[in-house]
Amino acid sequence: MARLRAALSFAVFSLLVLLLLGSVQVQAEPESPVEAPPDTHRHEKRVGSGGPYWLSQIKRQGKVAYGANSSYVIWRNVRDYGATGDGVTDDSDAINNATADGNRCGANCDSQTTTPAIVYFPPGVYATSKPLIMYYYTQFIGDANDLPTILGLPNFFGIGLLDSDVYLPYGATWYQNQNNFYRQVRNFILDITQAPSNAHGLHWQVAQATSLQNLVFNMIEGNGTTQIGIFMDNGSGGWMEDLIFNGGNYGFLSGNQQFTSRNMTFNGCQTAIYQNWNWVWTYKSLTINDCPIGIDMTTGGEVITTGSMVVQDSVFNNVGVGMLTYFSSNSTPTAAGTLVLDNVDFVDTPSAIAYPNGTIILEGNQNVPSFLQGRVYSAYDSQEHIGNLTCYEPTANSARVQQLAGAPPKSESLLTPSGTFVERSRPQYEGVPVESFVSILDYGCKGDGVSDDTACVQGYFDSILDSEVAFIDHGAYVIRETIKVPTNIKMVGEIWPLFMIDGSSSTFSDINNPQPAFQVGQPGDVGAVEMSELCFETLGPAPGAIMMEWNLAGSSAGAAGMWDVHWRIGGTNGTQLQSTQCTKTPNIATTVNSSCYGAFMLLHITNTGSVLMSNNWGWVSDHELDLADHNQINIYNGRGVLIESQGPVWMYGTSFEHSQLYNYQIANGKDIYMGIIQSETAYMQDNPNAVAAFSPTDTYSDPMFGSCFDATCYKTFGLRIFNSTYVLLYAAGLYSFFNNYDSGCLITSNCQDNMVSVEQSEGIYLYALSTKASTNMVEVDDVALVPQAANLNGFCDTVAVFEYP
C-alpha cells in the first residue's frame, strides 16, 4: 500500500453525492415502473453436503497474543447479539453490536491488529435498514452449506448493506482506503430487490489481504434501476472470487489502484462491470450473460481514467456490446485504456469492443485468442558483425496498437484440458464434519507469543491424518527451528494466526547461512498441501530466516496451494520491529541498524516446487499498524519471493512490497503464470540503498547491480527474471513512490532507474505491465529498452505487452 491519494473521479463522486443527499432517483421518479424480477436467479441457496458448517461448530479458544485486553473475544455469532434472521425484524442494530463489541478499531483508529473479529451468520434472512459496519480486521462469514441472506428493507438507507469504510462529512473515511487491510466477506446472498432503486449491496473500499468469496448479489432487474452490487470507490487491493450478480444497473462499479477478480458471473445486469478508474486490473474467468453492456471503460471520455485491464478466459453470452472504450488515435494519455484480451469468447454478442457511438472496433461472435490495445514492445537480439565477430545487442520495436494479436505460447502444464489457466477457489471444507478438524491448541501448543512452540507445532503437523484438517486457532506460535511441513496436509487458520519466526534463535540469525522456517516438503516431494488464512512474522530481526521454502510439487494441478496466506514483517505488536524501535530517519545519513533487519527472504519456491497461490501479501511494513503514531519505519528485509520452479506455478493476486534487493525474482525457472503482481520499492532507499543491508550473493542468484553508476539505480527491483523461460505475466503494478521518503521524484518520474530486469532469459511475455516513477520500465541484459516517457498513462506508465520471445 502507499500513502498516496488516488485521483478523485468525478463519476464516483457524483454517485456518492447522490447517495449522501438521499434517494434523488427515487424521489424524482417514485412511480418508475420496475419489472418484477423473474424467479430464476433468486435465492439459489447452494446446499453443500448438508449438516452444519464446521466453522460454526468448532470450539473457539483462539486468543490475541499481543493485545491489551486479555478477555477480548474474537468469535461472534450474530444470533447471540439478538439478530433474529427471520427476514422481517430489522437486525441491523444487533449485527452492528456484534461487530463493534470489545472496543475495536473504528473511527479515529486507522489500524490495529490486536482486535480481530469473526462475525458469523447462521442460515436465515437478516433484514436491515442501514449498513452493517465492518470494523478493521473483520471477517463476515456465512454458513457455506446454506447461505444466509442479508436483505435490504424498503426503508434501507446508506452506502451499502455492508460497509467496509464509513464515510464522514467532507469525504473523510474511518480508514485510509489504501491502508484498509485484513478483511473477508464469504458465503452470503446480498439482496437489495426490496430496497430503494439506488441501493448498493456492498461498499468495498479496501486494500491488501482482503477477499470476497462465494457471494450472490440480487438486484432489481431491467431498465430504470440504479442499483449496484459492489460499489468500490477506491483502495489498493485485493482479491475477489466466485461471485454472482443478478440484475442491477451495474453489477460491479469498480475503482481501485490494482485488483484481481476471478470467476464472476453477471446475469441480466444493465452493465456488468462499470470500470470507474484503475491503474491495473485482471479479470479472470468472467461469464457475462444477457447484459446490454458487458464492461464499460469509458469514464473520462477521451481522457481515459482506466489505466489498464486484462480480461482472460472469459465468456460473453448474448451481450449487446461486449466492451465499451474510448481508446483511439485521439485518446490520451497515450497508454491510458490499455486493454488485453486473452482467450475471450463472444457468443451471440455481435460487437466485442465498440465506441459509445456504436462504431465497432472488434467484431463479436468469435473467440479471441489475443487482442491488444495500447503500447506494445517486441524485443529481440539484433546482430552486429564486427570483423568476424558477431555481437548481439538487445533491441525493441514499439508501436501503439488496437488489434488482434498472436497468442503467447502457453505451457500445457499451466492449462486445464479446455485451455484455460488452472485456477482453484480457496477451499472452505464445506462438507467436512467438525470432528475432522484438529485444533493446534487442543494438541497442546501454547500460541501465547512467548513460549517456544517449535517441537509442539512439528509434532502437531506430523500427527494430522490425510482425512483431517489442521485448525490453527488464533494466537502467536513462536518458532525457533525449521518446521518441516509434511507432504500431505490441509491447514486453515482462525483469522490469520501468527507464526512468529524467532530471530533470537541461532537458526534464523545468521545472514550468511539462511535457513528455512517453514519448509513445505523436501526437494523432490510430490503431494497435496493446502494452507489458508495464515500469517508469518518475525519476532525481532531474523536476517537468516527464509520465511517459507516450498519444495513440494502438487500431485495434480492445484493440489498444492496457498490461499489468503501472508507474510508481514515488523510494524505490529509482538514483532519488536515497531515505530518505537525502527522509526524512519530520512534527515540523517542512515546506516543499517541490525536491530531492524527483517528476514533474509519471504518465500522461496525451489527448483522442485510447484504451487498455486491466491491472494498472498508479503508486506515489509512501511509504517506502524498498532502503536498510535502509525509512523513510517525502516525495516530491512532482504528479498521478497524467489521462484526457481520448473513449473507450473500460478500466482493469482499476489503482492510483495518493500524488500531490499527485489520484490519478485524468477531465477532458473520456467512455466510461470502471474496475474496480477504488485510491488513497491522500499521507501528508505537510497538512504541507505538496496545493497546496504544484504550483500547480493550468487547462491541465491541475486541481482548484483553491477552496471549501476548512479544512486537511484540501487533500488528494489519490482521484478527480475534471470536465466528463465516461459514467464507469462498478466498485469503488474510495480511502483516506486519515494526516494528516501521524499515523493518529489514522482513529479519528475525518476524515483528509480529500472523496475523490471530481464537477463539471460527468453520466452518472456509481460502483459499490461505498469510501473510508477521508474525512468526505464524494462531492461534486457542491462540495456534499457522501454522508457517510461513513451508510455504515459493516467498515473503509471503502461505497456500492453513487452515480449521477448
Ligand X SMILES: *[C@@H]1O[C@H](CO)[C@@H](O)[C@H](O)[C@H]1NC(C)=O
For the CA atoms of 697, 698, 700, 704, what is the dihedral angle to 10 degrees? 60
Task: Check binding of 194 to ligand X (CB under 6 A).
Answer: no
# chain residues binding ligand X, by CB under 6 A: 51
Q: Name the minimum Å distance from CB 29 to ligand X.
A: 8
Cα–Cα distance measured from residue 279 to residue 238, given in angstroms and rounded to the nearest whole number: 13
Q: Name the minimum Å distance from CB 789 to ligand X.
A: 25
Cα–Cα distance measured from residue 333 to residue 308, given in angstroms and rounded to the nearest whole number: 12
**Interface mask (CB under 6 A) for ligand X, residues 351-370, using x and -?**
----x-x-x-----------
For ligand X, the closer of residues 111 and 678 by Cβ is 111
From the list 6, 311, 440, 651, which residue makes contact with ligand X (rule: CB under 6 A)? 6
Cα–Cα distance measured from residue 62 to residue 73, given in angstroms and rounded to the nearest whole number: 9
Task: Check binding of 114 to ligand X (CB under 6 A).
Answer: yes
Kindly list the distances between the CA atom of residue 174 and the CA atoms of 14, 178, 180, 371, 753, in Å, as whole numbers in the listed order. 20, 12, 9, 41, 36
For ligand X, the closer of residues 49 and 357 by Cβ is 357
Region from 62-70, 307-315, 499-507, 702-710 binding ligand X, contact rule CB under 6 A: 62-70
For ligand X, the closer of residues 349 and 788 by Cβ is 349
Q: Name the minimum Å distance from CB 494 to ligand X.
A: 15
For ligand X, the closer of residues 185 and 596 by Cβ is 596
Q: Name the minimum Å distance from CB 644 to ligand X.
A: 8
From the list 22, 292, 433, 524, which residue makes contact with ligand X (rule: CB under 6 A)? 292
Q: In 3-state terms, what secondary structure has residue 102? A: coil
Residue matched to cell numbers 462499470: 274
For ligand X, the closer of residues 586 and 787 by Cβ is 586
Please give the residues from 621 up to 650 whose contact with ligand X meets the rule CB under 6 A.
626
Region from 99-107, 370-378, 681-689, 740-748 binding ligand X, contact rule CB under 6 A: 99-107
For ligand X, the closer of residues 388 and 556 by Cβ is 388
* Angle at the Cα of 46 from the Cα atoms of 41 and 49, rounded to 5 degrees: 160
Q: Name the minimum Å distance from CB 322 to ligand X.
A: 16
Cα–Cα distance measured from residue 640 to residue 662, given in angstroms and rounded to the nearest whole number: 6
Please, are residues 783 and 747 in contact by the beta-carbon 8 Å criterion? Answer: no
Task: Check binding of 145 to ligand X (CB under 6 A).
Answer: no
Q: Name the minimum Å distance from CB 339 to ligand X.
A: 14
For ligand X, the closer of residues 304 and 470 by Cβ is 304
Please, are residues 170 and 142 in contact by the beta-carbon 8 Å criterion? Answer: no
For residue 437, give the nearest of 471, 414, 393, 480 by alpha carbon. Answer: 471
Task: Check binding of 586 to ligand X (CB under 6 A).
Answer: no
Q: How far apart are the first and last CA of the chain?
A: 33
Chain centre distance of CA 532: 14
Please, are residues 740 and 686 in contact by the beta-carbon 8 Å criterion? Answer: yes
Please, are residues 633 and 577 in contact by the beta-carbon 8 Å criterion? Answer: yes
Cα–Cα distance measured from residue 730 to residue 800, given in angstroms and rounded to the nearest whole number: 10
Task: Check binding of 14 to ligand X (CB under 6 A).
Answer: no
For ligand X, the closer of residues 194 and 593 by Cβ is 593
For ligand X, the closer of residues 295 and 786 by Cβ is 295
Q: HSE of 195 in the Cβ direction (CA atoms, 13 Å)? A: 31
Please give the residues from 732 up to 771 whose contact with ligand X meets the rule CB under 6 A.
none
**Interface mask (CB under 6 A) for ligand X, residues 419-448, using x and -?**
----x-x-----------------------
Residue matched to cell numbers 418484477: 36
Task: Check binding of 271 to ligand X (CB under 6 A).
Answer: no
Task: Check binding of 236 to ligand X (CB under 6 A).
Answer: no
From the list 723, 743, 749, 750, which residue makes contact with ligand X (rule: CB under 6 A)? 723
- Cα Rg of the chain, angstroms: 25
Task: Return the exposure string of 775-786: e unless at least 16 CB atoms fall within 10 Å of the residue's CB, then b.
Answer: bbbbbbeeeebb
Write phi, then psi, for 693 (nearest 5 degrees).
Answer: -90, -40
Cell of 283: 479479470
DSSP assigned state of 468: -
Binding site for ligand X (CB under 6 A): 5-6, 8-9, 12-13, 16, 66-69, 71-73, 81-82, 93-94, 97, 101-103, 112, 114, 171, 177, 214, 223, 233-234, 242, 244, 263, 292, 326, 328, 355, 357, 359, 387-388, 423, 425, 573, 581, 593, 595-596, 626, 668, 723
